[in-house]
Amino acid sequence: MNLLRTFLFNFKKIILSPKANFSILFSVMFISILLVIGLLMYVLDYYHKKNAMENANTSAILSGASKMISRISYFGDNMSSHTHRAIVDDVTRFIKSYIKEALLLDSSVFNISEKNIISQHSKVSITRTPHSNVFHELNNQSVLQNKKTFYHMSVETFYDYHVKFFDNLLNKKINTKIISFVPALVKIDTGEHPPFFVQLVVDLSASMSCLMDSDPEHATEFSICGKSKKNSKMDALKKAVLLFLDSVDRGSKTQKDTHYIGLTGYTTRVEKNIEPSWGTGKVRKYIVEEIDANMLGQTDSTPAMKKAYQILTSDKKRNFIRNILHKRIKIPFLPFQKFLIFLTDGENNDPKSDIKTIKICEKAKKNSIKILTISINASSNGKRLLKKCVSAPEYYYNVVDTGSLLRVFQEISTLITHYKYQVILKR
């Protein structure tokens, strides 16, 4: 502000001087305009950087909360204080790493060294609120007194912002610190798990008969597909889905009335639709006895995603005409947590299908359906579609081998069966 006042005083003095001529006035005005433009550019750059930091912090804290709930749900009431501390430390490291990844998505804001410095010097705090329902030690075991637990989480990042233009102009170093602080309250309901509804949408196109490391972007590789089912993408998918179903059964206290599961398989159309039902029996039977790739099938995810969306929203009220035009699948009217798991190894043959699929994803998200997507060594266009469909960045998974696909489905089963929670950003 002192610099601005000095400049305005001298500018006024020159303008009012009787010795001032047009050339001097023009030069002063031109320089003034350049200074104002330069100042505005720095102001915009400052807020652009601050906004990027806040967005990265928000994404990191939401992803960290999701990871923490999954871990806490896995151990449940038998979690020791040592395990709890290990979970907090692991989530803290995860959040710091996620900040760097989030900043890397926007390469125009910070350079790589700046991103590393911001993530390394970030401060992450995770504390349990002193409350009647916190963990109490009993024989080194943490016991919950009632059904709710609260955590305070916060992420704070810093960046030293240097105004290089004025450094050179005034021969003096001018800097300011950009601080981004994002606090949140995480509320966990540790009572009974609410029932959940899962609809699997899986790619059955010809490329699924290829080996796990094959690239669907290169058509010449399809000549070797289908000759051996062992180590194919379809073989890996079978193993992963069966592991997922086993994990869901183990993660639920009963196998009858806690999870409602269906499956839609597709090429350019819906090839198979397993109507949702309680438990894993129907989907398991199809995976073991029938599922296979269609050797003539290309890819269009739109019909399958539309079908899955209609199934997941079958409990919503519809008008009379829509009830006549569309066959309605009857599902229980319960407060389901709804999940759509969308898996593909390639991309839609028609780019217009991507636009249609994304529109369906947006409608699903507006209806509180969590969308998780899995790319099996998919093409760049296929990955782009899956990233746009997810409900949150951490719900997109990319796998390149059978082991990573198994781990992803194991992680998803934990996510689905975890405690119900809410993240309240306190900004």
Q: Write down all domains in the chain, each with its CATH number in brackets.
A: 38-189 (no CATH), 196-419 (3.40.50.410)
Would you say 283 and 200 are in contact if contact means Cβ atoms under 8 Å apart? yes
What is the Cα–Cα distance from 412 to 57, expressed in whole angstroms?
23
Q: Please, which residues bridge with residue 262 across strands?
A: 199
Rounded to 5°, angle at Cα 22 from 20 and 27: 90
* Residue in 166, 234, 138, 151 with CA at minimum distance from that of residue 7: 166
The pair of three-digit structure tokens given for residue 383, joined into one six-digit string: 């990955």
Nearest-CA neighbor of 240 among 276, 278, 291?
Answer: 291
Q: Which two tokens stand for residue 326?
A: 């569309």
Which helix (H) or strand (E) segment is 273 a member of?
A: strand 270-278
Helix H or strand E encompassing 274: strand 270-278
Residue 307's H or E segment, with its range, is helix 302-312
405 to 114, 227, 390, 397: CA distances (angstroms): 34, 22, 17, 9
pLDDT of residue 133: 45
End-to-end CA distance of the chain: 29
CA 202/CA 350 separation, integer angstroms: 18
Compute CA distances 375 → 67, 218, 379, whole Å.
Answer: 20, 17, 9
Other beta carbons less than 10 A from residue 8's beta carbon: 11
* Run of H or E including 250: helix 233-251
- Is residue 121 within 8 A of residue 157, CB to CB? The reply is yes
Enumerate the β-bridge partners of residue 422: 187
Decide: helix, strand or coil at residue 67: helix
List of residues 6+ apart from 338 with CB closer than 8 A:
196, 197, 198, 199, 312, 367, 368, 369, 370
pLDDT attached to residue 413: 85
Edge-to-edge strand ranges of the sheet holding 369-376: 270-278, 259-266, 196-203, 337-344, 369-376, 396-399
* Residues lower than pLDDT 70 in the chain: 1-39, 41, 76-77, 105-108, 130-147, 163-174, 190-193, 214-229, 251-256, 297, 317-328, 419, 427
Q: Which two tokens stand for residue 61?
A: 């804290």
Residue type, 372: L
Write out the DSSP string of 70-96: HHHHHHGGG-BHHHHHHHHHHHHHHHH
Would strands 420-425 and 369-376 be described as parallel, antiparallel, or unpaired? Answer: unpaired
Phi/psi of residue 259, nearest 5 degrees: -135, 135
Q: How far apart are CA 78 and CA 66, in angstroms?
A: 20
Q: What is the pTM of this model?
A: 0.61
